[in-house]
Amino acid sequence: MTDNLIDLLKQQVSAIVLEGDSTFLSEKNTALSHFYPILLSILKGKPGLIDALKNQLNPRLNDLFETNPALKHQFLDNIRGAAPAPEIENTLSKSILPALGILENQAGSSDADAIVHLIDTQQSAVQSALPAWAAGILAALGINTAMGQTVHQAPEIAEPAAVQEKKSNSWLPILAIVILALLALFWFKSCSDKNKVEETAPPVQSAAAQPASLQLSTNEKGQLVSCQVYVNNSSYIDILQQQVKQIFNSPTGCGASAEASYHTEFIDQDAIPSVLKLVQGTPNVALNWVGDQLSIQSSNPQDADRLAAEIKKLAKNMNIMVQKPADVSTTVNNSITDAQKALSSIDPDQVQALDVATALNMQIINFATASSEIPEVNKSILDQAAALMQRAKQVELTVTGHTDATGNAEANKKLSQSRAQAVVDYLISKGVDPAQLQAVGMGQEKPVADNATEEGQFKNRRIEFEVLNKDTGVVRKVDEEGVKKQP
């Protein structure tokens, strides 16, 4: 066990809570240092809070002031310095769970009595670290800082009425002076706080910061297929991982990123475990929780609508949307029309390889499941391209097949190769020189969309046309950003 529990909390918990933070760091670090002895005093005086806090996914400062909510504002005014109160409150709230983890580790047990005993052995260090103003706050919560226990009023010994009256009268002048002094102090502090609020407007969130996000999907049995979480809070990620593993009976849980570019918490974060329980067992659902936007997609529209209605009751600050599956037929037909227009605009006497590839990439070749047979609707586009390529022998293209991530990766790679080769063979059958073409199968290795949704899988099942310079071996890829060189 450490010689000084307060120092340990400052070293380990503050590092966790302030990691990646960039605003009011000095004030937040000072507030945390003052908060630790106050937190320990409250836990020692109210042991029942220990289990209550541990059982929450995201304990908040409000939980410590539940018996006297108005006192929280006075506490924040004393501890926040020049920082806005919401910033400090959020920082202190984030420190509660890791602080409890440190206490459990040092006590060698999660039992509340063991933790209280640990704090009791450190009582002198805790008391010496308490800021002077904390005694009044703790007393208002019913905590005796001298003993570290909930205050119980001792019985008074009755005195003769005359003596009581004399004592009462002797204190009146002093009491009047104290009241006047307190009123003057309150007036001064109110003015100071007003000026402080005017001078220190809340900082604007960095535009570069990305909202925390959670993406997951289920299979036809309602089991977890994929899960990814992005939030700048390692402690919360650990908690969420445990929830996902337990709810979905999944040994792997979620992939996770705690990079500093992400926000430190989710909107309506406390509702996430309940939402996961709703999703568990629902087949073929994709859920995407980003900032205050929550989108739900399902192969069964009734399931998506039901989930949306139930989640709205839990996550009241989220904008919940049901994404309808894309109309594949309309999307494919529109792509064919665009490709036809692009090919028709090419001058047959000035054919450029880049123009041909760009036009061909506008079409969607929607192969049937496990099939490499080219759909009839795409053959007219390939016929137009073949006619142009016969007039321009310098046009040399690589035809690359891609699949979604459903099924076996090795089988998907073979299927993508077969589909790319089918397109090459068709163009050759229409008179294109075989030397102008080559087929490549990439399988599921290079997705362009999220495989967790049907729409994403549809986008990943694609054929791409790239311009190949056989002298240099460099492929020039055509996309909406223009031509890119790739190795």
Overall average pLDDT of the 254-271 stretch: 87
Number of separate domains in the chain: 4
pLDDT band at 170 (very low <50, low <70, confident <90, very high): low
On whether both 349 and 391 belong to a single domain, the answer is yes
pLDDT, the chain, mean:
81
Q: Exposed/middle/buried for 486, CB within 10 Å: 0-12, 13-18, 19+? A: exposed
The confidence score (pLDDT) of residue 414 equals 93
Task: Give the least confident one: 193-207, 281-295, 312-326, 354-368.
Answer: 193-207
Higher-scoring residue by pLDDT: 171, 451: 451
In whole angstroms, give the CA distance from residue 157 to residue 449. Answer: 79
Contact 450, 225 (CB under 8 A): no
The confidence score (pLDDT) of residue 163 equals 45
pLDDT band at 382 (very low <50, low <70, confident <90, very high): very high
Q: The domain that contains 419 carries what CATH number? A: 3.30.1330.60
Burial letters for 365-394: b for 16+ Cβ neighbours within 10 Å, e otherwise? bbbeeeebebeebbeebbebbbebbbebee
The confidence score (pLDDT) of residue 175 equals 56
On whether both 256 and 314 belong to a single domain, the answer is yes
pLDDT for 111-168, tens place per residue?
A: 999 999 999 898 888 888 888 888 888 888 888 765 444 444 334 334 444 444 444 4
Overall average pLDDT of the 396-417 stretch: 90
- Select from 287, 322, 357 the last residue of a domain: 322
Contact 466, 476 (CB under 8 A): yes
pLDDT at 185 over 80: no
pLDDT for 288-333, tens place per residue?
A: 999 899 999 887 888 999 999 999 999 999 999 997 765 677 888 8
pLDDT at 272 over 90: yes
What's the residue count for the chain? 487
Overall average pLDDT of the 30-37 stretch: 92
pLDDT at 360 over 60: yes
pLDDT at 34 over 90: yes
On whether both 282 and 138 belong to a single domain, the answer is no
pLDDT for 385-396, tens place per residue?
A: 999 999 888 889
The confidence score (pLDDT) of residue 172 equals 55
pLDDT at 171 over 70: no
Q: Is 27 a domain residue?
A: yes
Q: Is 369 a domain residue?
A: yes
The confidence score (pLDDT) of residue 205 equals 39
On whether both 136 and 238 belong to a single domain, the answer is no
- Select from 127, 150, 173 the last residue of a domain: 150
On whether both 16 and 135 belong to a single domain, the answer is yes
Q: Is 138 a domain residue?
A: yes
Overall average pLDDT of the 31-38 stretch: 92
pLDDT for 82-121, tens place per residue?
A: 888 888 998 999 999 989 989 988 888 889 999 999 998 9
On whether both 314 and 230 belong to a single domain, the answer is yes
pLDDT at 196 over 50: no
The confidence score (pLDDT) of residue 386 equals 94
Higher-scoring residue by pLDDT: 423, 331: 423
On whether both 292 and 420 belong to a single domain, the answer is no
On whether both 360 and 451 belong to a single domain, the answer is yes
Phi, psi values for residue 279, rounded to 5°: -70, -35
Task: Give the least confident one: 52-61, 432-441, 447-456.
Answer: 447-456
On whether both 313 and 335 belong to a single domain, the answer is no
The confidence score (pLDDT) of residue 3 equals 66
Look up the domain containing 129 and give its range. 5-150
**What pTM was computed for the model?**
0.38
Q: The domain that contains 313 carries what CATH number? A: 3.40.1520.20
Q: Is 205 a domain residue?
A: no
On whether both 255 and 384 belong to a single domain, the answer is no
Contact 420, 400 (CB under 8 A): yes
On whether both 170 and 271 belong to a single domain, the answer is no
On whether both 340 and 410 belong to a single domain, the answer is yes
Overall average pLDDT of the 210-235 stretch: 86
pLDDT band at 383 (very low <50, low <70, confident <90, very high): very high
